[in-house]
Amino acid sequence: MDQKERLQAIIEEKRQAFITAADNIWGTPETRFATEKSVAQHYHILEQEGFALEKGVADMDYSYIATFGSGSPVIGILAEYDALGNLSQVADLPEKKPVEIGGNGHGCGHNLLGTGALAGAVAIKTLMEEENLKGTIKLFGCPAEESGYGKAFMARAGLFDSLDLALTWHPMDVTQAWGDSSLAVYQVYYEFHGTSAHAAAAPEQGRSALDAAELMNVGVQFLREHIIDEARVHYAFIDAGGESANVVQPTAKLYYFIRAPKLEQVEPIYQRINKIAEGAALMTETELTIDFDSACANYLPNPALTEAMHQNLKQVTPLELTAEEIAYEQKFFDTVPQVTKDTLYARAQNAFPTATEAELKEIATMPVNTKLFPYQITDKTAGSTDVGDVSWVVPTAQATIGCEVQGTPPHSWQWVATGKSSVAHKGMLMAGKMIAMTALDALLDPQLIEKAKAEHQQKLAGKTYQSPIPADVVPK
C-alpha cells in the first residue's frame, strides 16, 4: 500500500465518526456566526484525534484553528459548517416539505463540506505520525460562509499569513477541480430614520423613511446603466416601516449586496450607492445610517495546486454507487425541470467534445454525475465565496465533488433532503481523501509549493491583500 492508498484507508477506517458528525450537523442547522452546536461536532473529533485546538479566533465564538505538527511547510485546510435560513426540509423525501416552516436547513451541503475537510486533516495527520513526515497542518473552522464571511474576518486578522497554501472543496452536482473565479462582494445596510405622523391628517409633519428607501432603490436602478456589465447589485427590505398605511413610516432599512469580478471594482460602485442613499435622505429630510456588514474578495484559482487536485481526483473517482443508491437519487432527479435537464447535455458536450452522442446522453441523464470533468483556469464568475480572501493571501485550490443530484442547484430543497444520504457521505469521504492526498503532495514536493507561490505572485501582479472589511466592523 503506498502513502496515498494509506490516506484513503485511514478515512475508511474512521468513516463512521465523520458520517455521524456530518449527520448531526445536518440535524442542528445554524446560520452565520451562531454555529455553536455544529462546531461542537468538529471539536469532539479534533480533541479525540489530538489536535492542538484554538477556539474562538478572529472575534468569532464558533471558529477555530486546529494544529498538528511543526515547521514547514504549513498547509491550511478550510472547513465550513453553517446552514441557510428558510430551507428546512424532511430528509430523504423527494418532494418539498419542511421539517419546520421557516426553519434552517443545510442547503449548501456545509455539513459535508466541513466534515470532509476535517476528514482530510485527520488522515494527513495520522499518516504524518505513522511515517514521521515533517510539516504543519492547520484546519480552520470557518463560520458564516453564506453571509457574514468568517474567512474574510480571519484573513483581516492575519490568520492565514503563516500558511504556504490552502485547500478546500465543495459538494456540487459535478466533480471538477475548480478553475473559475468568484465575485467580490460588499454587504451593506442602509437605514433611514424619519418622523411619523398621521398620513391623512398631518402628512406635512411627517418625514417618510420608506420614501427615502424607495428613492434610493430608484436611484440605484438608474445607476445600473452606468456600471460595468459584470457587476451585480441586489437588495432586500429588512424594514419597510410598518403595517399601517395611515402612518408616515418613520423607519426603513435596506440590505444591499454589491458585487463585481474584482474587489477594486466594487469600491467605486459602493461609493456611488452611498451618494444615492445620501441624496435620498436629503430629498426626504430623513437621517441616514450606513452600516457595513461584511465583504469578501474575488477568488484567485492557483493553477499548480488545482492541477494537483485534479490528478488526485483521477485516483479517487468515480464515486461508486449501488443500484439502490441510483434508484434513490433517480427520484430526486425526476424533480429537476426538463428545461434544466436540457442544459445538462450541453454541459457534458462542452466538457467532453470528443464523446459520442450516446456517451453524452448517458452522462447527462445520470441522477448523480460521477464523471470527472476536465478543468480550466478561467475568469468566469457566478456567486461569491470567502475562500476568495484566503486565495489573495496564499495559493489556494478547491474542487467540487459531484455527490448532489445532477441539475439541482446549491440552496435548493433537494440538497437538504439528500444531505445525509449514503451518496452524500461517499462524496464527503472522497473529498477528504482528495484533500489529504493533495496535502501529501505539498508535504513531499517543495517544488509544487514554489511553483504555486510563483503563480500566486504573478496573479497578484504587485498587489497585496487589503481586507475589504473596515477595521471597526466586527462579525455580527
SS3 174: coil
160 vs 415 by CB, closer to Zn ion: 415
114 vs 261 by CB, closer to Zn ion: 114
Rounded to the nearest whole angstrom, what is the least distance from the CB of residue 296 to Zn ion in the complex?
13
**Cα separations in angstroms, 228 against 79, 232, 299, 461:** 33, 9, 19, 22
Rounded to the nearest whole angstrom, what is the least distance from the CB of residue 257 to Zn ion in the complex?
16
Does residue 469 bind Zn ion (CB under 5 A)?
no
How far apart are the C-alpha atoms of 457 and 452, rounded to whole Å? 9
Rounded to the nearest whole angstrom, what is the least distance from the CB of residue 391 to Zn ion in the complex?
15
How far apart are the C-alpha atoms of 419 and 206, rounded to whole Å? 51
108 vs 469 by CB, closer to Zn ion: 108
Rounded to the nearest whole angstrom, what is the least distance from the CB of residue 113 to Zn ion in the complex?
7
73 vs 116 by CB, closer to Zn ion: 116
Q: Which x/- pattern over 259-278 shows residues binding Zn ion (rule: CB under 5 A)?
A: --------------------
Q: Which x/- pattern over 359-398 shows residues binding Zn ion (rule: CB under 5 A)?
A: ----------------------------------------
How far apart are the C-alpha atoms of 159 and 462, rounded to whole Å? 21
Strands 176-177 and 396-402, sheet pairing: antiparallel
CA dihedral 237, 240, 242, 244 (to 10 degrees): -120
Give the binding range for Zn ion (CB under 5 A) out of 7-15, 108-116, 313-321, 448-456.
108-116
Q: How many CB atoms lie within 10 A of CB 454?
A: 12
Rounded to the nearest whole angstrom, what is the least distance from the CB of residue 170 to Zn ion in the complex?
6
Give the binding range for Zn ion (CB under 5 A) out of 100-108, 230-238, 264-272, 303-311.
100-108
Rounded to the nearest whole angstrom, what is the least distance from the CB of residue 195 to Zn ion in the complex?
43
**Burial (CB count within 10 angstroms: exposed 0-12, middle 13-18, buried 19+), residue 300:** buried
Rounded to the nearest whole angstrom, what is the least distance from the CB of residue 214 to Zn ion in the complex?
33
Q: CA-based angle 94:95:97, to the nearest 5?
A: 125
How far apart are the C-alpha atoms of 82 and 87, rounded to whole Å? 12
| Length of the chain as a residue count | 476
How far apart are the C-alpha atoms of 301 and 459, rounded to whole Å? 9
Which cell is 182 given? 468568484
Residue with cell 452565520: 32
Interface residue with Zn ion, options 25, 78, 108, 387 (CB under 5 A): 108
74 vs 79 by CB, closer to Zn ion: 79
Measured at CB, which residue is nearest to Zn ion? 108
Strands 176-177 and 232-239, sheet pairing: unpaired
7 vs 83 by CB, closer to Zn ion: 83
Q: How many CB atoms lie within 10 A of CB 223?
A: 16
Rounded to the nearest whole angstrom, what is the least distance from the CB of residue 111 to Zn ion in the complex?
11
How far apart are the C-alpha atoms of 151 and 153, rounded to whole Å? 5
108 vs 297 by CB, closer to Zn ion: 108
Rounded to the nearest whole angstrom, what is the least distance from the CB of residue 280 to Zn ion in the complex?
34
Which cell is 199 given? 398620513
User: What are the residues binding Zn ion (CB under 5 A)?
Assistant: 108
